[in-house]
Amino acid sequence: MSATPEATPTIVLVGHGMVGQRFLEALAERGLTATHRVVVLCEEPRPAYDRVALTSYFSGRTPEELSVTDPEFITTHGIELYVGDPAVTVDRVAREVTARSGRVFGYDTLVLATGSYPFVPPVPNKDAEGCFVYRTIEDLLAIEEYARTRATTGAVVGGGLLGLEAAGALKGLGLTAHIVEFAPRLMPVQVDEGGGAALLRTIEGMGLSVHTGVGTQEIVVDASGAVTGMKLSDGSELATDLVVFSAGVRPRDQLARDCGLTVGERGGIAVDEQCRTVADPHVFAIGECALAADGRVYGLVAPGYDQAETAAATIAADEASFTGADLSTKLKLLGVDVASFGDAHGTTGDCLDVVYSDSRAGLYKKLVIGRDGTLLGGILVGDAEAYGTLRALTGSVPPVAPESLVLPAGAGAGAEGLGPAALPDDAIICSCNNVRKGTIREAVSEHRCTTVPEVKKCTKAGTTCGSCVKVLGQLVAAELEASGVEVDKGLCGCFSQTREELYEIVLALRITTYQDLLDRYGREEARGTDGCEVCKPAVGSIIASLAPVIGASGYVLDGEQAALQDSNDHFLANLQKNGSYSVVPRIPGGEITPEKLIVIGEIARDFGLYTKITGGQRIDLFGARVEQLPLIWTRLVDAGFESGHAYGKALRTVKSCVGSTWCRYGVQDSVRMAIDLELRYRGLRSPHKLKSAVSGCARECAEAQSKDFGVIATAGGWNLYVGGNGGATPRHADLLAQDLSDTELVRLIDRFLMFYIRTADRLERTSAWLERLPGGLDHVREVVVEDSLGICAELESLMAAHVAHYRDEWAETINDPEKLARFVSFVNAPDTPDPVVGFVPERDQIKPDLPLLAIGHRPLEGSAQR
């Protein structure tokens, strides 16, 4: 311990969680770290980390990535941080704190931020081998180890926030997971009966078993003392190898009790509005251990941050007070949005409810409205997109009809005029950090912030739970426009919406045709027209990618869809420079049998096609006339081939090396993984083409880091890289997550691809999208790994629908005479081959006879072109 002059006042902070770290930052902002000695006693073996995102550890986020403590901050401000060394006694007379190590620290000001501890019901055998709590990173490490080596089934006691997250973690570890909740519904504090029912349906649909209205009577153990089951209050018994208690928390106030500080009847260290303990003006308490002056213990991070700021301001002799906090919260449970705000249960009495419920989609939305039209509160389950706006409007009369705020997009008249720009400047946009709209506007107009990352850095908005990031983006755009910076986000002259916005409209309203979308949401001057060549293929791609979900035909040449496609998609083949087409059957992972090679060779010979092995490990057959395509594909389909989608904005190939099966250096079976991935994502329509690769070791023979998503094997699993591009502007892919299991890898790729499809612009490769996206890779990681927006369940569901409904386009085409009728050069002369298509020999094969001919070809004189 470095020597400190006796005259230097000392602040001792007991506890180093998120609230404790915020307190240190508040001290530094006020210059108190320069005038005071600051000592921090931390019980856990690591500095403060993001406990809100604790479950993201099971999605690949490392403990280091969860940290909210910058070592440089600690060093720069001279803070003495002792990890793994908690305070054990406080002598308030001598003003000394003794740590477990025996160190003794005198203090002028003591701040208790000891947080809370998990409540474990007093049931028999609650401490048996196989019983855990869900509170710290160490708890998660222990659960992970036990689940991997000792368990096949897990049960969580408690159906609140952490309980549902724990159950999701157990399922992610490969266990059969159960949730046992004493209340009649899940999350009884946050949601009402209707919201609980919607949440239940969604969670059960994920494969978790839920038992509500029953309590745990006893933990059943075997002769060795290990868990084998649970006895429930209804007389039933649940077989399980592992139990996680997540039945709530209690304030950690024992240290305060032992030194004689006043503690509430139900726990919590009693403090005044300045967060000073009522028994000792030299001692403060903040966070979950504190019983605030309003008689409440706050278990959310935002009130804890406010208390930290209040305590730091009081120590600095500034005026500050904590008189209570809004308990509104937006949660992400197993990827399902759950939010409540204001008086969500209508406890104020004279009020009305506006409810929208769609049990099929797992949606439940309720607004509580006063008789005078004031928005008092609400509950959102399954879709909390409007949470930021609704929360900010709480306590006021919304400028539109209440029902328009909860109905799907477009179904509530007037809702489109309501957005962040309509909110007053004192509306709180980021509840975690108490950032108001006016502060965000000032960051743009006065501090010259032009992007969301810049605003986040300037204001701290969006840096905790991330639920307000989309609203931040809208406010930044609105403020830039107000400053005279023209921001036309429209897709084209037909639509004022971006591609992302059109995707959301199509998904929300189940719009299945381009014309319907144009007539309802197109610019006024475009309605009633045929649209343009920019938006037609873009909308066609959106409808195709969402076809299984919205009820549209998955076949791109059905009805109106055929008119929307790019030139290549018109005939499910790549148009070449002389008017001929190429045929590319899928060869997953580059693996092919001799029999299939022979089939390809025979087809190429019989139809006189040019053959070439591509860089993506498959074979291109060039020179087919349009009328030959069905004949060629009939033989290919009969041999077991399917479309390689070389013509579409879709997945092309998943390239691979030979991996551990053959290579001396391979550490994983890259061929199997490449085949699995290509078969999973085949036919997936996207804003641009997608390419992938899997390398069996770090030698990178498959060049995975130049792909839209690439996978490299490690001794611990798979590393996932995203955003690479080997095209005209090469870009190395970025590492998104590492050492993933097969299941974790597929889940993250599912999420990444659907998030890209959802938010990218037309013809935007993942590389350009990643660089354009506010926050870049960090934002993508927050969304698809940490589920910061709470949309991962939806992204996974969309991908699952694609996989379940995939149909080979060519197999469908050759079995439908009506579809085959389109494969002619000239509609009024179907038996006439196109005379423009010609070839000359080269290197024992053929090449186009018109090397300078532009794409497309001339119509036959006097005939209608195809």
User: Using CA atoms, how far apart are residues 147 and 154, in angstroms rounded to an integer?
Assistant: 8
Give the pLDDT score at 674: 94
Give the pLDDT score at 406: 76
Architecture of domain 131-247: 3-Layer(bba) Sandwich (3.50)
Backbone angles phi, psi at 19, to 5 degrees: -70, -40
Class of domain 655-806: alpha beta
Kindly report the CATH number that applies to the domain delimited by 326-418. Answer: 3.30.390.30
Give the pLDDT score at 849: 75
User: Using CA atoms, how far apart are residues 97 and 91, in angstroms rounded to an integer?
Assistant: 6
Closest CA to 470 of 361, 404, 387, 390: 387
Please provide the size of the chain in residues: 866
CB environment 780-802: b (16+ within 10 A), e (fewer): bbbbbbbbbbbbbbbbbbbbeeb
The whole model's pTM is what? 0.56
Residue 859, token pair as written in the block = 């119509």
User: Using CA atoms, how far apart are residues 190 and 378, in angstroms rounded to an integer?
Assistant: 10
Q: Hey, what CATH topology would domain 10-117+251-315 get?
A: FAD/NAD(P)-binding domain (3.50.50)
Task: Parse the chain into domains and list their residue ranges.
Answer: 10-117+251-315, 131-247, 326-418, 499-565, 566-643+808-866, 655-806
User: Using CA atoms, how far apart are residues 415 and 399, in angstroms rounded to an integer?
Assistant: 9
Equal fold, 10-117+251-315 vs 131-247: yes
User: Using CA atoms, how far apart are residues 228 and 216, in angstroms rounded to an integer?
Assistant: 14
**798-815 pLDDT per residue, tens:** 999 999 999 898 998 898
Residues annotated in the binding site for [4Fe-4S] cluster, as ranges?
657, 663, 697, 701
Residues annotated in the binding site for siroheme, as ranges?
701
Give the pLDDT score at 411: 43
**Regions in the chain scoring below 70 on pLDDT:** 1-6, 59-60, 332-335, 359-361, 408-421, 452-453, 465-467, 469-470, 485-489, 554, 559-560, 562-568, 570, 577, 727-729, 826-832, 834-836, 850-866
**What residue type is assigned to position 10 of the chain?**
T
- CA-derived radius of gyration, the chain: 31
Give the pLDDT score at 413: 41
Pair type for strands 574-575 and 581-583: antiparallel
The CATH number of domain 566-643+808-866 is 1.10.150: no
Residue 549, token pair as written in the block = 């979900």
Residues annotated in the binding site, as ranges?
657, 663, 697, 701
Give the pLDDT score at 616: 85
